[in-house]
Amino acid sequence: MPEEFVDVSFTAAGAPWKIRRGGRVWQVVVEPTCHFERVNWWEDLTFKVRKGAADRIDYAVWLVQVRLGANPRSDILTWELVEHPRIDSWSVREVA
């Protein structure tokens, strides 16, 4: 399944607050949690290491629970927001 990139708005503290996905705005309704995952840089042919600089190896993954807009009747969904630091963007991974 291809990655779906989304626009993420953050709070002043740096946590996800709103996510624009498919033309709709989703509101984070439960305090999100963050962990980090590591790029398999030895498998990534685009990974670059230069003297004094390299692509980032670790990237953030936020576990968020969201609801469509401010609708209290909207179902709450759980997503993982995955950071792509080399292209300064975010994508969604569905959580089963």
pLDDT tens-digit profile of 9-42?
Answer: 999 999 999 999 999 999 999 999 999 998 787 7
Per-domain residue ranges of the chain: 4-94
The first and second tokens of residue 18, run together, are: 């709103």
Cα–Cα distances in angstroms (integers) from residue 12 to residues 1, 30, 85, in the given order: 33, 16, 19
pLDDT the model gives residue 42: 76
The first and second tokens of residue 32, run together, are: 């999100």
Global confidence as pTM: 0.84
Tell me the average pLDDT across 44-72: 82
CA–CA dist 51, 37 (Å, integer) = 24
